[in-house]
A and B are shown apart, each in its own frame.
Chain A
Amino acid sequence: MFYREAGDFKTSYKDDAQTFPIRFDRYRYYVVLLVAFAVVPFLVNDYWVNAVFLPFLIYAIAAIGLNILVGYCGQVSLGTGGFMAVGAYACYKLMTGFPEINIFFHVIIAGGITAGVCVLFGLPSLRIKGFYLAVATLAAQFFLVWLFNRVPWFYNYSASGQISAPERTLFGIPITGAGTEPWATYLFCLVFTFLAAILARNLTRGTAGRKWMAIRDMDIAAEIIGVNPLRAKLSAFAISGFFVGIAGALFFSVYLGAVEVGEAFGINKSFLVLFMVIIGGLGSIFGSFAGAAFLVLLPVLLKNVLVGTMGWPTDLAAHFEFIIVGALIVLFLIAEPHGLAQLWRVAKEKLRLWPFPH
Chain B
Amino acid sequence: MKQKLMAVLAAATLTAGPALADLKIVDTSYRTGPYAANGIPFSDGYQDYFTLLNERDGGIGGEKINLVECETGYNTEKGVECYEGNKGGEALVFQPLSTGITYQLIPKATADNIPLHTMGYGRTSAKNGEVFRWVFNYPANYWDGASHAVTHILNENDGDISGKKIALVYHNSAYGKEPIRTLEELAKKHGYELTLLPVDHPGQEQKSQWLQIRREKPDYVIMWGWGVMNQVAIQEAVNIRYPMENFIGIWWSGSENDVKPAGDRADGYKALTFHNLGSDYPVYDDIQKHVVDTGNAAGAGDNIGTVLYNRGMYAAMLAAEAIKTAQEMHGTSAITPEQMRDGMENLEMTEEKMAELGLPNFGPEFKVTCENHGGNGYGAVSQWDAEAGEFTLITDYYQSDQEVLKALIEEDSMAFAEESGIEAGCE
Contact = CB atoms under 8 A, between A and B. Distances in A.
Contacts of A46: 84, 87
Contacts of A256: 76-77, 80, 104
B290 interface: no
Dominant SS among interface residues on chain B: helix
Contact of B12 (A161, A312, A315): A312
A288 B414 CA distance: 44
Given A178-B111, A263-B100, A318-B73, A161 B31 contact: no
Interface residues of A, number: 39
B330 interface: no
Given A51-B81, A263-B100, A317-B71, 6 more contacts: A149-B198, A159-B181, A160-B123, A260-B100, A263-B75, A311-B16
B63 to A, nearest CB: 22
Contacts of A177: 107, 420
A178 B108 contact: yes
A161 B177 contact: yes
B48 interface: no
Interface of B: 5, 8-9, 12-13, 16, 29, 31-32, 36, 40, 69-71, 73, 75-77, 80-81, 84-85, 87-88, 99-100, 103-104, 107-108, 110-111, 123, 172-174, 177-178, 180-181, 198, 200-201, 299, 412, 419-421
A315 B32 contact: yes
Contacts of B104: 256-258
B173 to A, nearest CB: 5
Nearest to A182: B84
Interface stretch (A14-22, A162-170, A189-197, A240-248): A162-170
A9 B375 CA distance: 77
A112 interface: no
B9 A315 contact: no
A312 B9 contact: yes
Contacts of A317: 71
A50 B178 contact: no
B103 A262 contact: no
Nearest to B87: A46
B172 A262 contact: yes
Interface string A224-239: 0000000000000000
Contacts of A255: 80
B84 A160 contact: no
A55 B412 contact: no
Give the one of A179, A262, A266 with max B CB within 10 A. Answer: A262
Nearest to A159: B181
A264 B104 CA distance: 12
